[in-house]
Amino acid sequence: MSTKKRVTVLEPISSQVIYDNTTEAPKLKVAAYARVSTEQDEQQSSYEAQVNYYNQYIRNNPAWEFVGIYADEGITGTNMKKRGGFNRMIADAKAGKIDLILTKSISRFARNTVDALQTIRELSAIKVEVYFEKEGIHTLDKQCEVMLTIMSSLAQEESRSISENVRWGKQKSMQDGNVSFGYRHFLGYRKGEDGRPEVVPEEAAIVRDIYRMFLDGMTIRNIAKELTERGIKTPGGKDVWSVSTIRSILSNEKYKGDALLQKTYTLDYLSKTVRKNKGEVKQYYVTNSHEAIIDEDVFNLVQVELQRRSKMRRGLRNSSPFCTKLICGDCGSFYGHKIYHAKEKHSKDVWYCNRRYQGSNNCSTPILAEDDLVKYYLQALSKILENKEKCISACRAKMNKADALEKIRQKRIKAETDLARGMEKIQALVKENAYISQDQQVYRKRFEEISKQIEQQKSDIANLQEQELSLIGVREKLSRFIETLESFDSEPAFDSATWNVLVERVLVNTENLLFEFKNGEEIKVSI
């Protein structure tokens, strides 16, 4: 027996002849991937062309079995998580349904180098090949990985460049005061022939109705319910209105003809993560950018009321106009609602201090029947109406005292100018430190000084804005107060809308109710 070393070559299974001449070789299962990155009309034709081309190309090859066209329309290529067609294709390939994937170029496949290489390696490991037509690269070719790394990096850099150009374009547009609307989901406006926002009269009437109902005392939840019951469609075309939609309409500055731009920003061009702008990037406030639907004073009064209600959300669960208006004179708590003998024929609506039965020290303030409360209110209102003209004149005099408001407004404008200068200073300081060698202790000290000034300026502006908003709110309150008083020409009757316009709050004491009206007048009624 020979002891000489001998080597036997075992050919790989893929290269062995396992079919005889009479057996037809199995067809290659082929799919294609197509993608366009925007939803513009000119890109739509490109998308359809890719799909039609691959459909015909694969079916015309007798050695191939057509699997399908996987496509993503209007989806970015920098992040694979949001590409449903792409992810389905990879899953089918791993399930053995695909042998070969055709695609136009690396940039169509992915603009993220890491994701592209990782996906291609996963497919190569299961012998699934990708062919990039533009670059002429077959991924099962041993020489392809170096080429792919270079090409993918170029595609990623192209994506970064495009993203920066788009961002620059948007910044320039915002600096020029150009305002964009999401008209499809925005109630009250449509795109006019000149490209600017144009008021839709029927929708604007709904917006004004929402503001009116809110100022008449209706809760946001009840406004949503009211609009749903009326059969009015939401801005998105839905049948049911949500609390968030109503709140958004009530707080959107576009309805007073202004626009705050860059409320959100994109974190980076790869992840495309969108975040709320809390001062990380510049914002632009455009005044009088388009026709207003809501008067500025009415809008500002609504903002004041939104703030007030946000502090008493628990109390606002009840839709009664008396909710959050009745205050206990002993402990300062709100009065709550209860129905006595609810299941009996002679049921009774009553109000009492929410802390009346808490602890050992019970409040001495009385339980009020709702009918009696209405009676006491009408007595107080009658006293106001006895001096109706005098009351209206006093309100107008208060409204004409605009000096305080103008002084605060000028202070706020100056503070905003100082803030802009501070921001320029700190940006110049950071830029100088990046290019010029300097003492870092001195740099940090100067940086901290300017930062403290900026934070103080931001705080001052916030306080001045709050004061300004409050004064504007008072002015609008008085305007509505006068309008309501002028509407009385006979003996008053109770109406929830009128109650909300006239009454600020009612302090419930042991022997009397102190009605505080929105013009500042106080009327005491014995009980």
User: Where along the chain do its domains lie?
Assistant: 23-163, 183-314, 326-400+452-526
Beta carbons within 10 angstroms of residue 475's beta carbon: 20
C-beta of residue 480 within 8 angstroms of C-beta of residue 501: yes
What are the C-alpha distances in Å from 448 to residues 159, 315, 439? 37, 44, 15
Mean pLDDT by runs of 10 across the 527 residues of the chain is: 56 44 72 70 60 87 92 57 82 94 81 70 88 84 65 56 52 55 84 86 94 85 91 92 93 86 55 58 72 88 82 59 89 88 76 80 88 94 91 86 76 86 84 82 88 88 83 82 88 87 93 93 93
pTM: 0.52
C-alpha closest to that of 248 among 231, 267, 230, 234: 234
Model pLDDT, residue 30? 95
| Interatomic CA distance for residues 270 and 478, integer angstroms | 53
Q: How far apart are CA 96 and CA 115, in angstroms?
A: 21
- What 8-state DSSP symbol labels residue 508? E
Please name the amino acid found at residue 300. Answer: N
Does the domain at 23-163 match CATH 3.40.50.1390? Answer given as yes
DSSP structural state of residue 333: P
Bridge partner list, 30? 66, 100
235: tokens are 């801005």
Quick one: pLDDT at residue 249?
Answer: 94
Cα–Cα distance between 441 and 182 in angstroms, integer? 48
The CA distances from residue 173 to 37, 169, 185, 408, in Å, are 22, 6, 22, 31
Token match 């604007």: residue? Answer: 204
What is the C-alpha to C-alpha distance for residues 185 and 284, in angstroms, rounded to an integer?
A: 22
* CA distances in angstroms from 460 to 200, 244, 375, 412, 415, listed in the order given: 39, 30, 46, 8, 7
Length of the chain: 527
Beta carbons within 10 angstroms of residue 494's beta carbon: 14
Give, as one character, the DSSP assignment of residue 185.
Answer: G
> Which pLDDT does position 39 carry in this prediction?
45
Beta strands 137-138 and 129-132 are antiparallel
Strand residue runs (E) in 122-176: 129-132, 137-138
Of 172, 195, 166, 169, the closest CA to residue 183 belongs to 195
Segment (H or E) for 431: helix 403-435
Name which of 327, 298, 102, 279 is nearest 215 in CA terms: 298
Question: Do 23-163 and 183-314 fold alike per CATH?
Answer: no
Q: Which helix (H) or strand (E) holds 519?
A: none
φ/ψ of 518, rounded to 5, equals -75, -10
Backbone angles phi, psi at 359, to 5 degrees: 75, -170
**DSSP output for 10-75:** ---GGGS--S-TTSPPPPEEEEEEEEES---HHHHHHHHHHHHHHHHHHHT-TTEEEEEEEEEES-
Q: How far apart are CA 45 and CA 68, in angstroms?
A: 19
For domain 183-314, give the CATH number. Answer: 3.90.1750.20
pLDDT at 357: 76
User: What's residue 204's pLDDT?
Assistant: 93
348: region left, alpha or beta (phi > 0 left; psi from -120 to 50 alpha): beta
The answer to whether residues 323 and 337 touch, using CB atoms and an 8 Å cutoff, is: yes
Return the sign of the alpha-carbon dihedral for residues 399, 402, 403, 409.
positive
Nearest to 492 by CA among 356, 341, 383: 383
* Cβ 109 vs Cβ 33: under 8 Å: yes
Q: Where are the alpha helices (DSSP H) in 281-402?
A: 296-310, 370-386, 388-400
Query: Residue 448: which H helix or E strand, with range?
Result: helix 440-487
